[in-house]
């Protein structure tokens, strides 16, 4: 026999939260990253990896050595990672500031980098433009956070 005072009902409840960050800045960061990876990849494919700075090739009107191709690929992958992250705004601002600084140094002293990177002032200007576009996208576009909450209780699921 069961004691009525000792029985109780057991309910199981599980709550799941799906958070998504949506911003047009993600698209801009993704495009910048994709363009840089393609430019760097084409440069590396053309000059090879036998020497980092001896041979140069022209990709989209910009001269590149293998070293500059590698820099483009790494920078592009970082921009792609920023596009995929939930903190896209901060990541894009940081990467864009680095791009502006790198571009300014190369544009101000192009002769110092011409033999190592393959490009001179025009390569510096390219990175300044990339940085400015990234900064504008990060600062101008809003970031929207969308939360979808699902609660499951005794086999019944409700979504908020």
pLDDT in tens, 8-31: 666 677 777 676 778 899 999 999
Given a cut of 60, whether residue 2 has pLDDT beyond it is no
More confident of the two residues 137 and 153: 137
Q: Which of 126, 139, 31 is nearest to 94 (CA)?
A: 139
Q: What is the average pLDDT across 58-62?
A: 90
Distance CA 50, CA 75 (A): 22
Q: Among 15-19, 93-97, 137-141, which stretch is predicted with the lowest mean pLDDT?
A: 15-19
- Compute the Cα dihedral for 109, 112, 114, 119 and give only its sign: negative
Given a cut of 70, whether residue 60 has pLDDT beyond it is yes
Does the pTM exceed 0.85? Answer: no
Distances 96 to 11, 90, 127, 147 between C-alpha atoms, Å: 51, 10, 9, 28
More confident of the two residues 144 and 150: 144
Distance CA 100, CA 125 (A): 9
pLDDT of residue 1: 53
pLDDT in tens, 32-46: 999 999 999 999 999
């Amino acid at each position: 026999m069961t004691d009525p005072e000792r029985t109780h009902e057991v309910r199981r409840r599980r709550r799941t939260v799906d958070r998504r960050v949506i911003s047009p800045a993600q698209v801009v960061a993704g495009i910048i990253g994709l363009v840089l990876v393609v430019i760097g990849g084409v440069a590396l494919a053309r000059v090879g990896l036998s020497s980092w700075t001896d041979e140069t090739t022209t990709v989209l009107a910009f001269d590149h050595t293998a070293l500059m191709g590698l820099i483009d690929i790494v920078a592009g992958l970082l921009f792609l990672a920023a596009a995929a992250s939930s903190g896209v705004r901060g990541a894009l601002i940081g990467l864009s500031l680095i791009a502006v600084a790198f571009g300014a140094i190369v544009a101000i002293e192009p002769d110092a980098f011409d033999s190592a990177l393959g490009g001179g002032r025009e390569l510096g200007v390219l990175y300044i433009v990339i940085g400015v576009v990234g900064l504008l996208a990060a600062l101008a576009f809003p970031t929207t956070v969308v939360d979808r909450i699902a609660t499951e209780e005794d086999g019944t699921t409700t979504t908020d």
